[in-house]
């Protein structure tokens, strides 16, 4: 057993586990000693603004909201990248311009797609 | 107390500091009270002023106003409690961490104040939750709130850790859930919480109750 060259590593592993777990255990013991938990039905409710909780915290978002994500990407995130691009435009090489062109065209394609799908008109 | 006060002072002069578990426990508790960040009416403006630089509640270890009841252990009822708001106040109180304390700030919070005759005003929040310190005033000045806070600190300091008077979180039997009133046809139902309000309750009488 002692001859195994990995034996010190195993000891170090358990020591490291001890360093990680001991503070957690101490915190748990300390809390249960000096400040025991006192839960009740209202305290365990998922909502905490004073109003009564309704339903579950695990709500589902409709996947149709991806459209808003795409439009947001086109109109907001694109502007964030375009502005520094425009500022540094004179100092950029052909490669950087091509990369930016690809990025803008990809987003423009998304815009064309959204337009064709008719989601830009307010229903 | 294990050590007599005179002996303790005499030892202190010699550079020997003696304490008890309950003293150091309560010393820690009273200097780390976290109030809940919510204001009900105009008294809240004075409460905000108390936390700001001029009056500086941080001197007492209470500058951390928590926006969540789960992280707070002091509720400052700062203003008029309407009957519409009372269930929310009681629910928030139930959600606070133990041991929890309540300061009823201003005439409205302790009795309904100038709006006592209003059909929609609760005549004092101590009908539903136990109040530790009442402050009169309309509104009370920040000094009054600081005084109330120091009174609460003295109260925490004097709480024994064993026996019937011990704080609620050390008593496994103690009930931490206070019934949340509901909106009835004419008034909140029930009109008072019998556990905390020993005085006669208003009796709903037909159509004219308020």
* pLDDT tens for each residue of A38-95: 888 888 888 888 888 887 778 888 887 888 888 888 888 888 888 999 998 888 889 9
d(CA A19, CA A4) in angstroms, rounded, equals 24
Q: pTM (2 decimals)?
A: 0.76
Q: Is residue B88 part of a domain?
A: yes
Q: Is residue B194 part of a domain?
A: no
Q: Which pLDDT score is estimated for B209?
A: 46
Task: Convert the pLDDT of each residue in B132-147 to its tens digit.
Answer: 999 999 999 999 999 9
Count CB pairs under 8 A between chains A and B. 40
> Which of A34, A40, A43 to mutate to probe the B interface, most B CBs <10 Å?
A43
From A35's Cα to the closest Cα of chain B, the distance in A is 7
Whether chain A has a CB inside 8 Å of the CB on B70: the answer is yes
B140 inside domain:
yes
B52 lies in some domain: yes
- Own/partner long-range contacts of B193-196 (Cβ < 8 Å, ≥24 apart): B193/B127, B193/B128, B193/B129, B196/B126, B196/B127, B196/B128, B196/B129, B196/B130
The verdict on residue B21 lying in a domain is no
**Do the domain assignments include residue B111?**
yes
The residue range of the domain holding B66 is 34-158
The reply to whether B59 falls in a domain is yes
At residue B170, the pLDDT reads 87
Q: What residue of A is the nearest CA neighbor of B38?
A: A49
Overall number of domains in chain B: 1
pLDDT tens readout for residues B49-105: 999 999 999 999 998 899 999 999 999 999 999 999 999 999 999 999 988 999 999
**Which CATH number belongs to the domain containing residue B85 in this structure?**
3.40.50.12280
Q: Which of B25, B94, B174 sits opposite A42 (nearest CB)?
A: B94
> ipTM more than 0.85?
no
Are the Cβ atoms of A50 and B92 closer than 8 angstroms? Answer: yes
Cβ atoms < 10 Å from Cβ of B117: 9
Nearest CA-CA partner of B58 in B115, B142, B129: B142
Could you tell me which residues come within 8 angstroms of residue A89 by beta carbon, excluding any fewer than 6 positions away? A97
Q: Provide the greatest CA pair distance for chain A.
A: 77
Residue B163 is assigned to a structural domain of this protein: no
- Nearest Cβ partner for A38 among B91, B92, B169: B169
- Closest residue to A40, CB basis, from B69, B88, B177: B177
């Amino acid at each position: 057993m002692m001859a195994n060259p990995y034996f010190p590593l195993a000891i170090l592993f358990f020591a490291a586990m001890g360093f990680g777990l001991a503070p957690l255990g101490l915190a748990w013991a300390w809390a249960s000693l000096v400040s025991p938990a006192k839960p009740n039905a209202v305290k365990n409710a998922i909502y905490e603004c004073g109003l009564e909780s309704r339903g579950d915290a695990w709500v589902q978002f409709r996947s149709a909201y991806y459209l808003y994500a795409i439009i947001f990407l086109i109109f907001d995130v694109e502007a964030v990248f375009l502005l520094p691009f425009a500022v540094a435009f004179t100092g950029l090489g052909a490669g950087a311009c091509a990369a930016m062109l690809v990025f803008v065209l990809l987003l423009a394609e998304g815009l064309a797609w959204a337009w064709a799908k008719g989601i830009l008109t307010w229903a | 107390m294990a050590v007599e006060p005179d002996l303790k002072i005499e030892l202190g002069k010699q550079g020997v500091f003696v304490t008890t578990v309950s003293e150091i426990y309560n010393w820690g508790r009273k200097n780390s009270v976290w109030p809940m960040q919510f204001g009900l009416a105009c008294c809240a403006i004075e409460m905000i002023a108390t936390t700001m630089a001029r009056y500086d509640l941080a001197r007492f270890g209470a500058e951390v106003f928590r926006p969540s009841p789960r992280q707070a252990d002091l509720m400052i009822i700062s203003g008029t409690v309407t009957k519409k708001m009372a269930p929310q106040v009681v629910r928030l109180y139930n959600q606070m961490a133990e041991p929890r304390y309540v300061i009823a700030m201003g005439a409205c919070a302790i009795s309904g104040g100038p709006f006592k005759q209003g059909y929609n005003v609760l005549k004092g929040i101590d009908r539903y939750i136990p109040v530790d310190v009442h402050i009169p005033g309309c509104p009370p000045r920040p000094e009054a709130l600081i005084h109330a806070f120091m009174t609460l600190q003295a109260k925490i300091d004097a709480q024994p850790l064993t026996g019937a008077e011990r704080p609620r979180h050390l008593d496994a039997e103690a009930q931490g859930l206070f019934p949340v009133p509901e909106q009835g046809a004419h008034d909140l139902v029930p009109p008072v919480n019998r556990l905390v309000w020993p005085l006669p309750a208003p009796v709903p009488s037909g159509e004219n109750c308020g």
